[in-house]
Amino acid sequence: MHGRLQRIGTELDGWTSPFTAPVPEHLRAQTLILQAERLRAFLPMLCLLIAANALAMALAVLGDLPWWQQLAPPAIIIGTCLAVLYIRRGHGPVTAPGQAARLLHRTLPVAATLGAVAGIWCVNAFTETEQYYCMVAPVFIGIAALMSSTCLISAPRAAIAAMATTVTPIVIKMMLYDNLGVRAMAAMMVLVTMMQAGVVLAKFRETVRMLGYQHELDRIAVTDPMTGLQNRLAFDRELEARLSAEDRVVLALADLDGFKQVNDRYGHLAGDEILRTIARRLQVVAPSALSIARLGGDEFALLFATSPSGGIPVACDPEAFRAAITQPVPFHGHQLTVGCSFGIAANPADGRTPDELVHSADNRLYSDKNTRKAA
């Protein structure tokens, strides 16, 4: 999966990239899918509006162009719109980054080509129609360009390409026209196009910022701020998901011994340093854990997949965890030490629901704690 995302990331760095602003690596897949889904939602309306606009323009300039110039451009535009609608019918929601990237990449050349066809058609109509009626074609095509940029706003490069290829030939022709009013309209078309391009670019940057904020909020919601481990909410979700999928798992609960005494003697900053250090040690000693979490206070939890034989996995070794946790923690010239009690439970023998499994592990943890106190 990571390799596929790297290849997709490389493909997104060229001029055909659907990104028009820097996108953090961890947001690229989500941004692609969001862009593609928005584009997919707007495609039916865009295709119908563009096809209707092409038909309306063809009727408006009927009889003023040679028959092939009269029929070919609207046929190309309407035919492409119908083809896009037909192809879209066979595709469901966009759920994978690769699928999203392909959709967005295909949109750019199609939009640019249709824009060029419409722009050249408009120039011919502008030249050939009667003088009092010559502005009809630019008005129709200007409307089409604005509709395209609005509906393609989730694919910024395609939106800008559609506007540019549509408007450029029209503006060039109008600027060469020996009439100040026509030239003024051409200048306004350029200004409106530039403004709309700015809106498209700003909207994409806003989307990236929104996703960044959402990602950070999601991370904060499932992260323990003290240790950087998962919090109770994230751990409960992981445990419930595994049990709902009938995965075989092993739950290990750990509770620190003597932590309150260290806190009382050296202060809360010392306690915080112990918690952070133990969190790092658990991540090192249990790299294969499905989840490592601080449940609150001085209580930690680790979740493992069972071994192929269905027994306790080698990675779930309480003595290794205990050895890592009880190593001294340096703090302002002091060597702080705490003990640790463990309770381990596995499904289905010790429970089939999260509550049952946690209850079994809790009972064994307190049994271990009482045994250690009595020793």
Digit-coded pLDDT (tens) for 339-359: 999 999 988 888 889 999 999
Give the percent of the chain with pLDDT over 90. Answer: 31
Cα 24 from Cα 375, distance rounded (Å)? 54
Which carries the bigger pLDDT value, residue 88 or residue 241?
A: 241
Cα 170 from Cα 184, distance rounded (Å)? 13
Confidence of residue 1 (pLDDT cuts 50, 70, 90): very low
Residue 16: predicted pLDDT: 65
Q: Is the pLDDT of residue 65 over 80?
A: no
Give the percent of the chain with pLDDT over 70. Answer: 90
Instruction: Give, in degrees to the nearest 5, the angle at Cα 230 between 31 and 295.
Output: 150
| pTM exceeding 0.75 | no
Residue 351: predicted pLDDT: 87
Q: Is the pLDDT of residue 5 over 50?
A: no
Which carries the bigger pLDDT value, residue 282 or residue 138?
A: 282
Q: Is the pLDDT of residue 98 over 80?
A: yes
Q: Is the pLDDT of residue 315 over 70?
A: no
Which carries the bigger pLDDT value, residue 8 or residue 242?
A: 242
- Assign 230 to helix, strand or coil: strand
Q: Is the pLDDT of residue 131 over 60?
A: no
Residue 67: predicted pLDDT: 79
| List of domains in the chain | 2-220 (no CATH), 232-374 (3.30.70.270)
Per DSSP, helices labelled H in the chain are 2-11, 28-60, 67-89, 97-128, 136-151, 156-175, 180-221, 232-244, 259-266, 268-285, 318-326, 354-374
Q: Are strands 299-305 and 329-331 parallel, antiparallel or unpaired?
A: unpaired
Residue 19: predicted pLDDT: 83
Write down the mean pLDDT value for the chain.
85
Strand partners, 192: none
